[in-house]
Amino acid sequence: MGRIVTLASGQFGDLGLEELCAAAAKMGYEGLELATHAHFDVKRALDEDGYIPQVWETLSKYGLQCHAISAHLTGQCVGDQWDERLDNFAPKEHTGKPEAIRAWAVEEMKNTARAAQKFGVKIVNGFTGSPIWARWYSYPQTSEEMIEAGFTLIYDLWNPIFDIFDQCEIKFALEFHPSEIAFDYYTAKRLLEKFGYRETLGFNFDPSHLVWQGVSETVFIRKFAKRIYHVHLKDVKLLKNELAGILGSFLPFGDDRRTWNFVSLGHGDTDFDGIIRELNTAGYTGPLSVEWEDSGMDRFLGAAESCAYAKRINFSALGVAFDDTLKR
């Protein structure tokens, strides 16, 4: 099977690159998806001649590849309507300054494309943010004009960024996600339509964000087969609590009163067998990147177990009908 199994580095941001590489290789991973807020410094990549060779040398030392970098925190700052939470994602000198945060994020995303090109990868994963997420429940009433204005703002903000992505021959893989402009099938379709199905824009497929919403993770791949530019493997467990709903009840991740929680691969309700079959049909040959999130498990144990699980389910299509040998 051509698809390698990689580890998303963001959840291990407290480790240095070399320490993470050593741990990932020991756990069986074949590569890393490097997060720009943790293990891949965009500014250093552009400004320091020795930085990128140093990163590749560290990866190679442990037999690891890299096919994508992720810029989720930066991208969130581009399209979000500011509140104080965004201050955690931007440089400290912009704290409490919405216009400064957005301006920084726009330029940083352009530089991320330039850094990805220089680094030699073709995919940047991330978020877009959303100026209308708070209006998802139509009360006070949300008009169609308000929704369209939100999609238009995302278009206006991201189109110039995508121009730089095109110049650098980099694709942007949006992780559809609650709090993003696209979070399910219909919003994802509307976003692609808004951008005129521009080739720059595709998806970082993460099934965990669909399953708890009740959206089919397999049908999503089928509908957007040519737009799956990268894949996250993350599991989610659906729980029963007659006192809580899918909105989370303002309970923290890991709290067993919630009706769903992210869990280590194989411990939840995601149809990974169906996902692999759909990815095979779609012809996806990129990485399967484990984004490990489970508040109830040791992360090194869980990440190692998840790597083994991902490799076990990472099967190829037969390529012929199973009963072809019955013919004379």
CATH number of the domain within which 30 lies? 3.20.20.150
Q: What single string gives the DSSP state of each residue in 218-241?
A: HHHHHHTGGGEEEEEE-EEEE---
Is 176 part of any domain?
yes
Domain containing residue 21: 5-238+270-326
Is 187 part of any domain?
yes
CA distance 2 to 270: 23
Is 264 part of any domain?
no
Measured from the Cβ of residue 43, the count of other Cβ atoms closer than 10 Å reads: 12
Is 262 part of any domain?
no
The total of structural domains in the chain comes to 1
Is 311 part of any domain?
yes
Reading the block at residue 132, the tokens are 């209308």
pLDDT of residue 2: 78
Is 250 part of any domain?
no
pLDDT of residue 317: 83
Is 30 part of any domain?
yes
Taking each continuous run of H as one helix and of E as one strand, the counts in the chain are 11, 10
Q: What single string gives the DSSP state of each residue in 83-147?
A: -GGGGGTS-GGGTT-HHHHHHHHHHHHHHHHHHHHHHT--EEEE----SSGGGSS-SSPPPHHHH
Is 314 part of any domain?
yes
Q: What single string gives the DSSP state of each residue in 277-302?
A: HHHHHHT--S-EEE----TTS-HHHH
The distance from CA 229 to its chain's CA centroid, rounded to whole angstroms, is 10
pTM: 0.96
In tens digits, the chain (328 residues) has pLDDT values of: 579 999 999 999 999 999 999 999 999 999 999 999 999 999 999 999 999 999 999 999 999 999 999 999 999 999 999 999 999 999 999 999 999 999 999 999 999 999 999 999 999 999 999 999 999 999 999 999 999 999 999 999 999 999 999 999 999 999 999 999 999 999 999 999 999 999 999 999 999 999 999 999 999 999 999 999 999 999 999 999 999 999 999 999 999 999 999 999 999 999 999 999 999 999 999 999 999 999 999 999 999 999 999 999 999 986 655 556 566 6
